[in-house]
Structure 1
Amino acid sequence: MTRRDIGAILFDKDGTLFDFGATWNVWAANLLTRLSQGDAARAQALGDLIGFDLAARRFSPDSFVIAGTPDDLVDVLSPEFPDLTRKDLITLINDEAVSAPMAEAVPLAPLLDHFLAEGIVLGVATNDAERPALAHLDEAGVRGRFAFVAGSDSGFGAKPTPGQLLAFCDAIGIMPDRVVMVGDSTHDLVAGRAAGMWTVAVLTGMADTATLAPLADVVLPDIGHLPGWLGLA
């Protein structure tokens, strides 16, 4: 099986289709401000819990939030808010995520259209929840290009387990060894390897080449370099 035989590409969303810092640093600052009801000291204390520096408005590279799910975030935050249920916190987190400003890693529509013109099926597998994921793809005007979109709450599990990835293969009828998993975190790449897919790492998230390279068939600056790697440029 060679790269020429690839029939589908499954993208992570945050840090892959969209630049991580430009989107999620804003989301985190807004979420912490909302949760703390404007109390700056409280907001920074909550930021410390999740690996976010509110003053600098950036995540620590080792923050669990970067590759985690909304449920992971609730696990950490819920002890701080005993008056809120898990459902309340999930709803609040997802509401803020839906309104997060999305910065495309590269112009998405022409790139995705290029793949589609070559007969490649496209999908998204994200550890974000499904509702904000669909909203973000709608905002970018590209949702219709994807044959499959799964979030961490879509019923297939979350990365680094391969459930979302195998569900994509089932949905489109293509074997995993003809699919590329593209992502910016080790969670994406571990899931891709577990599913039996090709794995491509991009550097538009928080992880560096040294972290990603051992799990990737190739490390690219961004998804705009995929056509060249696939021989479609």
Structure 2
Amino acid sequence: MRADGLLFDKDGTLFDFAATWNAWAFDAIHGFAAGDSALADRIAEALAFDLTAKQFRPDSFVIAGTNREAAEAVAAVVPGADVDAIEIKMAQDAARAPLVPAVPLSPYLSGLRAKGLKLGVMTNDSEFSAQAQLDGAGVSGLFDFIAGFDSGYGAKPDPEPLLAFADKLELAPERVVMVGDSTHDLIAGRRAGMQTVAVLTGVALTEELAPYADVVLPDIGHITDWLTA
């Protein structure tokens, strides 16, 4: 097998991004706008969200950004807004979002662990949201490491949070695979000296991801065969 550990991004990787977050963001934008359609338009523009299509634009920073960055963008256009309060509300609401797994996660992750692989999650979402969502999916106990942008290791595309996973599990970085749906994930993996796998369950297309990936796969379910190919 070509690796000893797999480190997954969360949104767009473990969970299908569009199926999970587009409807949530549409409701969140209107919630912050409190019935003001002009304000909803400004919030949507700040987040690069298409209100008509009810989806994030491919160029939206939210796709790979941190919860704090999204909160700051909303606060910048909402009169009298408190960025800290917005960040907390986003994290709490996101923790309750109805997630759509990219594949049936419990049997998939259990199968990887049975092969002796160490598993982790590193997301630019908050650790609180990540833990709550993985708990809700019934799979948090299958991971050896769960970290968010606020866990003290930094955020992608910096390599430090990825190296923290390798250090904690005593794995050589070159024997770890960073799996993600964005260039942030893959660039972080390359900077950490890890192998990189891109999946297409996010927003980015193959041509955007391929320059930074050892392989581009439809979803995480295809990784098992790739590991032993």
| TM-score w.r.t. length of structure 2 | 0.97
Q: Which residue of 1 aligns with 2:199?
A: 202
C-alpha distance in 2 between matches for 1:69 and 1:204:
19
Map 1:49-128 onto structure 2 (within 5 A): 49-128=46-125
**Is the 2:156–2:184 Cα contact (8 Å) retained in structure 1?**
yes
2:15 maps to 18
Q: What is the aligned residue count?
A: 229
Unaligned 5+ segments in structure 1 are none
Aligned partner of 2:209 in structure 1 is: 212
SS at match of 2:97: coil
Superposition RMSD in Å: 1.2
Task: Give 1:138's match in structure 2, choosing from 132, 135, 139.
Answer: 135
Poorly superposed stretches of 4+, deviation over 3 Å: none
Letter in 1 for 2:25: A
Alignment correspondent of 1:187? 184
CA deviation digits over 1:162-199, x for unaligned, max 9?
11101101111111011000000000000000000000
**1:31 partnered with 2:32:** no
Name the aligned partner's letter for residue 106 of structure 1. V
The alignment status of 1:151 with 2:148, answered yes or no, reads yes
Cα deviation, residue 89, structure 1: 1.3
Structure 2 letter corresponding to 1:69: T
Q: SS in structure 2 opposite 1:65?
A: helix
Q: Percent identity?
A: 53
Q: Which amino acid aligns with 2:70?
A: L
State the Cα distance separating 1:41 from its structure 2 match.
3.2
Q: How far apart are residue 29 of structure 1 and its match?
A: 1.0
Residues 221-230 or 76-85, more deviating: 76-85
In the aligned structure 2, how far is the partner of 1:195 from the partner of 1:156? 13
CA distance in 2, matches of 1:217, 1:5: 12
For the residues of structure 2 that align with 1:55 and 1:182, how far apart are their CA atoms?
31
- How far off its partner does 1:111 sit? 0.7
Cα shift at 1:79: 2.2
Partners of 1:200 and 1:159 in 2: CA distance: 15
For residue 14 of structure 1, what is the amino acid of its counterpart? D
Kept after mapping to 2: 8 A contact 1:182/1:188: yes
Tell me by how many angstroms 1:82 deviates.
4.6
Residue segments in structure 2 that go unaligned for 5+ positions in a row: none
User: What are the Cα deviations for residues 6-63 of structure 1, in whole angstroms up to 9, with x where unaligned?
Assistant: 1100000000000000111022112111101133332122111211112221010011
| Partner Cα separation in structure 1 for residue 2 and residue 20 of structure 2 | 34
Q: TM-score normalised to the size of structure 1?
A: 0.95
